[in-house]
Structure 1
Amino acid sequence: MADEKTKLAVIDGETLMDMKLPPTKFCVDTLLPQGLCILGGASKIGKSWWVLDLCVRIAKGEPMWDLKTTGGTTLYLCLEDTLRRVQNRLLCITDEVPPNAFFATSAGTLSDCLCEQIRNFVKEHPDTVFVAVDTFQIVRNNSIDTSYANDYEEIRILKQLADELGICLLLVHHLRKQGDSDPFNKLTGTTGIVGAVDTAFVLDKSRRNADSATLYCTGRDVEDRQLELRFSKEEFVWKMLGDSMENREMLLPKEMELLVEFMKVQKKYSGSNTEFCERYNEYAGQAVSARGLKRLMNLWEYRLADFGVRFRSHRSNGARLLEIEYFFSAGDDSAVGDG
C-alpha cells in the first residue's frame, strides 16, 4: 500500500462541478474578501487611519463607504505605534469602540511565533473575521534574501494561515520610491508578493500634500477597481468621492435573466440538461449550448438563488440529470435587474 504522504488528494471534475461550495465571504462587501490581502502606500499617506477605521466598523458591523460589513471580532497589530497613539487616533475617529475590537503594539515574527499568536487569538475569539498586521516588514524574517522565492514563501505562510482560520488577514506594506505606471509594481519587494496574495490594494496620491488619493484594488475574488478618496481632517477618516464600479450594478447576464423569467413560467423541471436547454432556447429565442448554459448556471448559482431559482445536478443510472425550480411565491417576486 502506498504511503499516504505520497498520494495526492484529488477530486474528479464531474464531482467538483456538482459540489455546492459556499461563496466567498467578505468583511466589506465586494471590496475586502476572506483570505490574505495587502495594502500598500507611501509612508504617512494615511494607510493606518483607514485600517483603524476598518477595524472599528467591522467590529460594529457598520458599513464602510455604504458597503455592508460582516460584523465580528477584529484584531489590529499596530506594530509601529504606542497604545497612547492608538488611543488618540481612536478618539479622533469615533465616540465608541466596541469590546470586540482588539489592539496590540507588539507581536512575534514569521520565524518567532506570529502565526501561533494569531491562531491562539482566533481560538479564544472564534467569531474573529479580520486581522490587520501593520506593518508586514516588522514581522518578516530577518533575512538578506530579497528574492522572488523568499517573498513568495513568506506570503504563502500567511495565506495558509488566513485560509486555515477562515479570516481576512490584511498586511500593511510600503511602496518603493521609484514611480511606475502600474501602481501594484510600486509595492516594496518582488512581484512574488502581489502574486501570492488573494487581494491587493494600493493607496496612492498624485501629490504628496494632497488630501485626495486613489485606492487601486485587484484580486482573485474582487473586480479590478479604483476608488477616489479624500481624507477628512475634521473626522480623520477617508471619505469616498467616487467608485469605478458605482455605475455597474450587480446584474445577471442576459442569459441568466432569461432563465429566471423562464423558470417563473416553468416552475419546476427534472430531466436531462439537453432537454432543459432545448426548452430554455425555445422560450428565450436563444441558441445556447447545454454545456454553455450549465456553465453560466454554475457561475451564477448564488445570484440565481437571490432571484428565486435553485438547482442541483446529479447522476442516476449513468445519466446526468438536472433538477431546477422557481421557489418564490407570486407575492415575493422581485424584478430581475433590481440588483
Structure 2
Amino acid sequence: MNEKEKTTVPVPSVGADGEQSLSYVTKEIVTQEPDYFNFDDGKHGDEYLKQMLRMSEPSYLPTMTMNQIYETVYESRRPIIENLLYPGAYLFVGAPKVGKSFFMAQLAYHVSVGLPLWDYKTHPGTVLYLALEDDYRRIQERLYRMFGVDGTDNLHFATFAKSLATGLFEQLKRFVKEHPETNLIIIDTLQKIREVNNDRYSYANDYEIIGQLKAFADESNLCLLIVHHTRKQQADDSFDRISGTNGLLGAADGAFIMEKVKRSGNKASIEVSGRDQPDQKLLLERDTETLKWELDDVERELWVKLPDPVLEKVKALVSGEQWLWEGTPTELVEALQVDMKPNQLTRYLNVNVGRLREEHWVMYSNTRTHNGRHIKIESFHYESDDA
C-alpha cells in the first residue's frame, strides 16, 4: 500500500466538530459534580438549591464555561476501525448493484471477529446488520462464498425491522441492552426505515432523520452505518451525488461514497470524509472467487501523531513495578518534573485522556474530594520486552 501524502497535523479531540445532545454530554462526564453540589457547608448547599431552582425554569439554558469544560474529563470514543470508522452516524452511499452489500458483510464480519480490515486495525464488538433488502437464504449464500463456514455469534442479521415512526429505536435500544458489547449497527437501506410523507425529501426532514439516528448512536456510543443510494445526475463533488437533500450529509458525522471504475469491472473506489478520520480514497479490486473487496492502494492525508513528552512521562510513572499512582495535582507536577502549574497539568491530561488510554494503556481520573483534587493514574496493560 502506498501512502500518497503525509502531513503533520494536531490530533483532534474526538467529536470536537460535532454537536452533542445534553444527555449525551452528561453521560460522558467522568469527574464528580461541580463544587456547588457540595452539601458539606451551608453556603454551597444554598448555591445548589438556587441552581436547581434555576434549572427548573422553562427559560433555563444549560451552559458550561470554558473553564468548566477544561476541568471535565470526557470519555474518549474508541474507534471501530482505526483511521476509518468511529462512533457516530455515517452514510455509506453507492449506486445499485455496485457491491455495497458485499462490502457491508465484509466490514461487519471483520469487526465482529476483531480481524483487521486490510491494514486497518479493528476493535471487536457485537455487530447488528439490518439487511432489509435481503432474505436469509441470500445472506447465507453470500457469507459462505466470502468466508466459508467459519461463523461467529457476534454477528447478528435481521431481514425485517420497524420504521423510524413505528418503533425502530425501541428495537435497537433493546438489542443494545441485550448485547452491551455492540459497537456497530448497519442499516441497509435508509429507504426501508424512513417514514413516507409529503415532504420526505425536504432538507428539514432529511436532517431530522439522520439527526435522530445520530442521537441514538451518540447515546449508545456505537457506529450506525446507514446504506443509501446515489442519484443519477453527475456532480463535480462525489458527495453531492447523495440522493436526497444536503440535510442527510449535514446531520451525519461523515460519509463513504462507493463507485465502480467500470460498471462491468471489478475495480471500485470508496471516498471517505468525516469529522473523526482523515479524508481518503480507497482503491479496491474485487476477488472474483470470494467476491470480497481487496485494497489496492489508498490516497489520504495521513494524521501523524507526534510523541508527547508529558504523556510519555505519565506512562513512565506507572511502568515497571509501580502500576498505580495516586496523589494531588501538586504532587503529580513534582513526580513528573514538568514545567507546568498543577491546574494546567490536570487540564492538559483531561483533554488527552483518550490518547493516554489508546496509545499508552493508561487510565487517568481526576476527582474532587473533601481535601481537594485527587488524581489516579493506573496502567492496565503490560508488554514484554520482546514486544
User: Structure 1 residue 46 and structure 2 residue 99: aligned?
Assistant: yes
Contact 1:262 1:280 in 2 (8 A): no
User: Structure 1 residue 100 and structure 2 residue 158: aligned?
Assistant: no
Candidates 23, 31, 42, aligned match of 2:76: 23
CA shift for structure 1 position 22: 2.2
CA shift for structure 1 position 302: 3.8
Mapping 1:203-242, distance limit 5 Å: 203-242=258-297
CA shift for structure 1 position 125: 1.4
Structure 1, unmatched stretches of 5+, are 282-291, 316-320, 335-339
Contact 1:24 1:221 in 2 (8 A): no
Contact 2:70 2:347 in 1 (8 A): no
Aligned to 1:4: 56
Counterpart of 1:303, as a letter, is: R
Give the distance between the partners of 1:58 and 1:312, measured in 2 at CA: 29
Aligned to 2:235: 180
Q: What SS class does the counterpart of residue 184 from structure 1 fall into?
A: helix
CA shift for structure 1 position 225: 1.4
Aligned to 2:140: 87
For residues 175-209 of structure 1, what are the alpha-carbon distances to aligned partners after superposition, in whole Å with 9 as ceiling and x for unaligned? 00111121111110111111101121111223222
Give the distance between the partners of 1:248 and 1:163, measured in 2 at CA: 24
Give the distance between the partners of 2:219 and 2:364, measured in 1 at CA: 30
Summarize the Cα distance change of 1:128–1:297 in structure 2 as closer, same or farther, 3 Å threshold.
closer
Q: What SS class does the counterpart of residue 80 from structure 2 fall into?
A: strand
Candidates 142, 153, 167, aligned match of 1:113: 167
For residues 81-114 of structure 1, what are the alpha-carbon distances to aligned partners after superposition, in whole Å with 9 as ceiling and x for unaligned? 1111111101111124201211111111111111
How many residues matched? 322
Candidates 202, 205, 218, aligned match of 1:150: 205
User: Structure 1 residue 199 and structure 2 residue 199: aligned?
Assistant: no
Structure 2, unmatched stretches of 5+, are 1-52, 317-324
Counterpart of 2:184, as a letter, is: F
In terms of mean alpha carbon deviation, does 108-117 or 293-302 score higher? 293-302
Q: Percent identity?
A: 34
User: Structure 1 residue 132 and structure 2 residue 206: aligned?
Assistant: no
Summarize the Cα distance change of 1:48–1:263 in structure 2 as closer, same or farther, 3 Å threshold.
closer
Give the distance between the partners of 2:310 and 2:63, measured in 1 at CA: 36
**TM-score calculated relative to the size of structure 1:** 0.78
In terms of mean alpha carbon deviation, does 166-175 or 96-105 score higher? 96-105
CA shift for structure 1 position 301: 5.2
Asked which structure has the greater RCO (Cα within 8 Å, sep 6+), the reply is 2
Summarize the Cα distance change of 1:294–1:195 in structure 2 as closer, same or farther, 3 Å threshold.
farther
Summarize the Cα distance change of 1:149–1:296 in structure 2 as closer, same or farther, 3 Å threshold.
same
**TM-score calculated relative to the size of structure 2:** 0.69
Give the distance between the partners of 1:119 and 1:85, measured in 2 at CA: 27
Mapping 1:293-312, distance limit 5 Å: 302-303=354-355, 306=359
Contact 1:260 1:309 in 2 (8 A): no
Q: What SS class does the counterpart of residue 51 from structure 1 fall into?
A: helix
Q: What SS class does the counterpart of residue 116 from structure 2 fall into?
A: coil
Counterpart of 1:16, as a letter, is: I
Task: Please provide the CA RMSD for this pair.
Answer: 3.9
Contact 1:176 1:188 in 2 (8 A): yes
Contact 1:259 1:280 in 2 (8 A): no
Summarize the Cα distance change of 1:232–1:293 in structure 2 as closer, same or farther, 3 Å threshold.
farther
